Structure 1
Amino acid sequence: MDTKLLNIIVCPSCKSPLVYDKDRQVLVCKAEKLAYPIIDGIPVMLVDEAKALSLEEIKQYG
């Protein structure tokens, strides 16, 4: 994942910054509790494609 892109990309729903999870290949919005998938190095920034995260999953991102 390009670090320049990580510095400017935000959640399309609430415009909050995202957390990159390299192991799971997702971008996480803690505010909306959503994980946006990264497929073949390309973030899929569609709310309909995001996975809802549980409170336990969100806690691991701080």
Structure 2
Amino acid sequence: MDAKLLEILVCPVCKGPLHYRKAEQELVCSPCRLGFQIRDDIPVMLEDEARKLPDAEEV
């Protein structure tokens, strides 16, 4: 994942910062508890396709 791209991407729901999880290949928004998958080095920033993080999962 390109570092410059990570600096400018924000959560499409709350406009907050995202955290990159390299092993899971996803960008995570802690306040919204959503994970946005990265496919072929392209983040899928659609709320409808985001993974809802379970309460037990650390963000």
Q: Same fold (TM over 0.5)?
A: yes
Aligned ranges for residues 49-60 of structure 1 at < 5 Å?
Answer: 49-57=49-57, 59=58
Give the alignment's TM-score, normalised by structure 1.
0.91
Give the aligned residue type for 2:22.
K
Deviations 1:31-51 (A, max 9, x none): 100000000100000000000
Give the alignment's TM-score, normalised by structure 2.
0.95
Unmatched 5+ residue regions in structure 1?
Answer: none
Q: CA deviation at 1:55?
A: 1.8
Aligned to 1:19: 19
Root-mean-square deviation (CA, aligned residues, Å) is 0.7
Please identify which structure carries the higher helix content. 1
Unmatched 5+ residue regions in structure 2?
Answer: none
Give the aligned residue type for 1:48.
D
Q: Percent identity?
A: 54
